[in-house]
Amino acid sequence: MSLEQLSALLKEKHVKCPECGGELGPPQYFMTMFKTSIGPYGEDPAYGRPEAAQGIFVNFHRILETMREKFPIGIAQVGTVLRNEISPRQGPIRLREFTIMDFELFFDPAEPNCPYLDEVVSEEISIVTEESRSKGTEHATKVQVGEAIKRKVIKAPWAAYFMALSKRFLTQLGVDAQHQRFFEKLPTERAHYSAQTFDHEIELDRWGWTEVAGFAYRTDYDLRKHMEATGEDLRVFKPYSAPRIRKTKSIKPNHQNLRKTFQEQTGRIADLISKDDPEKLLAAKKAGQPVKIGSYTVSPDCFDVVEEEVKETGTRFLPHVIEPSFGVERLLYTTLEYNLMMKEDRLILGLPFNLAPIQASVFPLVNKDGLQKRATEVYETLIADGLRVGYDEAGSIGRRYARADEAGVPLGITIDYDTLKDDTVTVRDRDSWNQTRTPVGTLASTIYTIVKEGFNTPK
């Protein structure tokens, strides 16, 4: 519908402002990308990218070559994208500038299976299918990934594989299965490039079900469009297991016979024969009938059918693409919401160890008798061991524990008078408040063991 048609319709139906009842202004286009211009005098228009994906498609062939044409191939990119959102006022949930993690998995449409599917085949995910939605419900079906592929609920096995990984990823970030679902987009909602799209949604306190990732089956849309626009061949070479011989028939002018009829025009007509439709000439040859070539009528003995063998080592295909795409700020928001908890009257930010900005904090029990010096040494040792470590000597030890809990520091290391005697320290767990005693010499490995196996089984 054009702006004029829309305008006429609004007038015809007497549509008023739902807020104030007043007349509506004329409809206008709304640009959802940010436009700017490049060059000394702003002569070239340009747009802020709304997704990182296109950089991947443009560079696809070069990367494929660099990676020595291994296939299937996945290319990931993380970066800033810009969208001129209509209503960006939802905190970090809808930002005009946000960080995207785009991943493009290129596969051969003739071999659509994912070789890693076994790893996730019995992972159960919740799907609100297009079918269910088109019946007007948002009922989620629980289904194992393998089953979802078999029933063609998920069209591309690679998409199913990444959806299973995404569920595990969000589970690691602290979101239990009941607050995760995959929401299939209706054909009218899908982006123009997608044959099937699932949003990975998380249930958030304030915003309800919220998309944190999308899984789009982009088919060969992007590579095809880039090929059409640039003329570059972006297809991938696929070798046959053994070279294949293909027999082809081609037409060759018979100069000797041509000369008999056409004399000095032989060269001209031979050229016309070479450029003419071989099928037409083959048919004429078969029928033994003269054939019209240009303005000449040529008898079939003026050209010969030559059988040739062509050796082909492989074929070329245009890959299909599955795109998992994650919004970093939404993942961060989700992680904060699902890890912020109360224990007794205290606030704990239960960040996973690998995400915690500070993984362990070192505390001298008191600020005297050399405890600070020893604590500083332990602090520096842990940093050298590759951990992200804090140091805090301000206030009572209980207050420092509480502060670290609230800041999401998983482990507290306390240096006390026993440390000076037997070189052991207390390791305290943020979530359970349990403590264990361990020698300074094996502290880093104790920490890594705790991270792998949980706090209750440090070795």
Binding residues for a second copy, per CB under 8 A?
Answer: 28, 30-31, 34-42, 46, 48, 68, 79-80, 84, 86, 96, 394
Nearest approach in angstroms of CB 167 to a second copy is 22
H or E element that contains 418:
helix 417-422
Site of tokens 């930010």: 349
Nearest approach in angstroms of CB 329 to a second copy is 14
By beta-carbon proximity to a second copy, the closer residue of 276 and 405 is 405
By beta-carbon proximity to a second copy, the closer residue of 23 and 423 is 23
By beta-carbon proximity to a second copy, the closer residue of 37 and 137 is 37
* Amino acid sitting at position 380: E
By beta-carbon proximity to a second copy, the closer residue of 52 and 302 is 52
Contact 212, 200 (CB under 8 A): yes
Nearest approach in angstroms of CB 163 to a second copy is 23
The secondary structure of residue 265, as a DSSP letter, is G
Nearest approach in angstroms of CB 11 to a second copy is 20
Q: Measured between alpha carbons, how far is 176 from 178 in angstroms, rounded to an integer?
A: 6
Helix spans in 340-370 (H): none
By beta-carbon proximity to a second copy, the closer residue of 83 and 200 is 83
Residue (of 156, 216, 158) closest to 185 by Cα position = 216
| 313 alpha-carbon distance from chain centroid | 33
Nearest approach in angstroms of CB 36 to a second copy is 4
By beta-carbon proximity to a second copy, the closer residue of 425 and 450 is 450
* Amino acid sitting at position 307: E
Crossing angle of helices 255-262 and 266-275, in 10° steps, is 130
Nearest approach in angstroms of CB 30 to a second copy is 5
Contact 416, 422 (CB under 8 A): no
SS3 category, 260:
helix
